[in-house]
């Protein structure tokens, strides 16, 4: 347990050293205290024969919807450091488990990185040598790319029924947005039949189907 805790403490301390608000003295104090807090927290929650058991309890995360991690919050109070001064990357998860310490930056399509492994007599430990700055930089770049995609989706959603109708007509059909109950929209369209003419959907019924989320007009209050 002591080896794994030491790895986690070193990793987190190197991360907070990237913050301009954290002095070297504060970082050293943080490293000493987080070891003590984790050692106390993991008592009764450390299972050598089942490393994944208790994993959620042992993990340290900044991805909890903006809520401070209880371990980090306790340590900052002991060190008299403001939590926000840590400036840890958002969506960081650190798993400290028997024989292995891993982390992940990001919750979507993010790879899990092995910081240290002591399985089968292995003594693999990258806590002191891994390029933390590059990892954080790559994570920030990925976040920015995700935000750009979201902005593009929102821009498409804001087009509204008129532009969607025009697009459908250019593709060889006609369409109509119908409002039901003052707030719910339904998309009605005619489509070309197999002979190339304009006709109703199979069975003589007009086509009603939910389109992609980006094709709906904005919901009215």
Q: How does pLDDT run along the chain (221 residues), one tens digit per residue?
A: 999 999 999 999 999 999 999 999 999 999 999 999 999 999 999 999 999 999 999 999 987 666 899 999 999 999 999 999 998 888 889 999 999 999 988 776 667 889 999 988 888 898 888 888 777 766 555 656 555 666 667 776 776 555 555 655 565 554 454 444 444 444 444 444 444 443 333 444 433 334 444 444 454 44
Whether residue 123 is found in the same domain as residue 167: no
User: CA-CA distance, 221 to 211, in Å (whole number)?
Assistant: 21
Number of domains, the chain: 2
User: CA-CA distance, 94 to 14, in Å (whole number)?
Assistant: 13
Domain boundary, last residue among 154, 171, 205: 154
Domain that holds residue 102: 2-154
Is the model's pTM score more than 0.75?
Answer: no
Whether residue 93 is found in the same domain as residue 118: yes
Asked whether residue 221 is assigned to any structural domain, the reply reads no
Q: In what order do the strands lie in the sheet with 60-61?
A: 60-61, 92-97, 100-105, 112-117, 124-125
Mark residue 108 as left, alpha or beta (left: phi above 0; alpha: psi -120 to 50; beta: remaining).
beta
Closest by Cα among 60, 50, 63 to 30: 60
Whether residue 205 is found in the same domain as residue 96: no
Whether residue 24 is found in the same domain as residue 77: yes
Whether residue 38 is found in the same domain as residue 88: yes
CATH number, residue 122: 3.90.640.90
Asked whether residue 220 is assigned to any structural domain, the reply reads no
């Amino acid at each position: 347990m002591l080896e794994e805790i030491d790895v986690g403490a070193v990793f987190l301390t190197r991360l907070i050293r990237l913050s301009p608000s954290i002095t070297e003295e504060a970082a050293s104090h943080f490293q000493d205290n987080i070891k003590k807090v984790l050692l106390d927290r993991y008592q009764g929650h450390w299972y050598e024969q089942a490393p994944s058991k208790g994993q959620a309890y042992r993990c340290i995360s900044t991805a909890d919807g903006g809520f401070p991690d209880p371990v980090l919050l306790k340590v900052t109070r002991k060190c008299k450091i403001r939590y926000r001064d840590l400036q840890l990357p958002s969506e960081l998860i650190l798993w400290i488990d028997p024989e292995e310490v891993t982390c992940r930056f990001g919750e979507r399509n993010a790879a899990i990185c092995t910081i240290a492994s002591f399985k089968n007599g292995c003594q693999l430990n990258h806590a002191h040598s891994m390029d933390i700055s590059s990892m954080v930089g790559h994570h920030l770049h990925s976040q920015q790319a995700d935000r750009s995609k979201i902005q593009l989706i929102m821009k498409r959603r804001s087009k509204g029924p008129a532009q969607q109708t025009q697009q459908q007509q250019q593709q060889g059909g006609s369409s109509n947005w119908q409002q039901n109950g003052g707030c719910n929209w339904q998309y009605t369209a005619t489509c070309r039949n197999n002979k190339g003419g304009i006709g109703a959907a199979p069975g003589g019924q007009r086509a009603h189907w939910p389109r992609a989320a980006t094709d709906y007009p904005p919901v009215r209050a």
